[in-house]
Amino acid sequence: MKEIIYSEKAPKPIGPYSQAVKINNSIFVSGQIPIDPKTNNVISGGIKEQTTQVLENIKAILEAAGSSLDKVVMSFVYLKNMNDFQGFNEVYSNYFKDSPPARVTVEVSKLPKDVLIEIAVVAGV
């Protein structure tokens, strides 16, 4: 049985998708972009600020599902510019210090709302 996960502490979906779906002992978090959930606007700043906001959004969704960043097993990272990889990685590594998840990181030509980064994750409960 699948359960739709929603957190007020993360941005409302901007399309026909759920913030996350929980099934059995797995949580699938939709791609998150750097939107401030209080204003529903993209935050200002560069890759470090945007990465921080994305990971805070993911953290809020996982907590609403009864999980945490520690239980992330896979992350999918989409960067608008691979030249931002080092700045992204600095912030990302602070959130996943011990036992980091498996990860895919790719450069894409365009992201929603013209942001610099989008991240989706799969986590356990």
- Domain spans in the chain, listed from the N-terminal domain onward: 2-124
What is the CATH code for 2-124?
3.30.1330.40
Cα separations in angstroms, 12 against 18, 33, 102, 109: 9, 11, 27, 24
Look over the chain and give the mean of its residue pLDDT values, rounded to a whole number: 97
pLDDT over 90, % of the chain: 98
Three-class SS string for the chain?
CEEEECCCCCCCCCCCCCCEEEECCEEEEEEECCEECCCCEECCCCHHHHHHHHHHHHHHHHHHCCCCHHHEEEEEEEECCHHHHHHHHHHHHHHCCCCCCEEEEEECCCCHHHCCEEEEEEEEC
For the stretch 13-72, pLDDT in tens is 988 999 999 999 999 999 999 999 999 999 999 999 999 999 999 999 999 999 999 999
Residue corresponding to tokens 């992330």? 72
C-alpha to C-alpha distance for 109 and 79, rounded to whole angstroms: 9
Query: Is the pLDDT assigned to residue 87 strictly greater than 90?
Result: yes
Q: 60 near 20, Cβ under 8 Å?
A: no
pTM, rounded to two decimals: 0.97
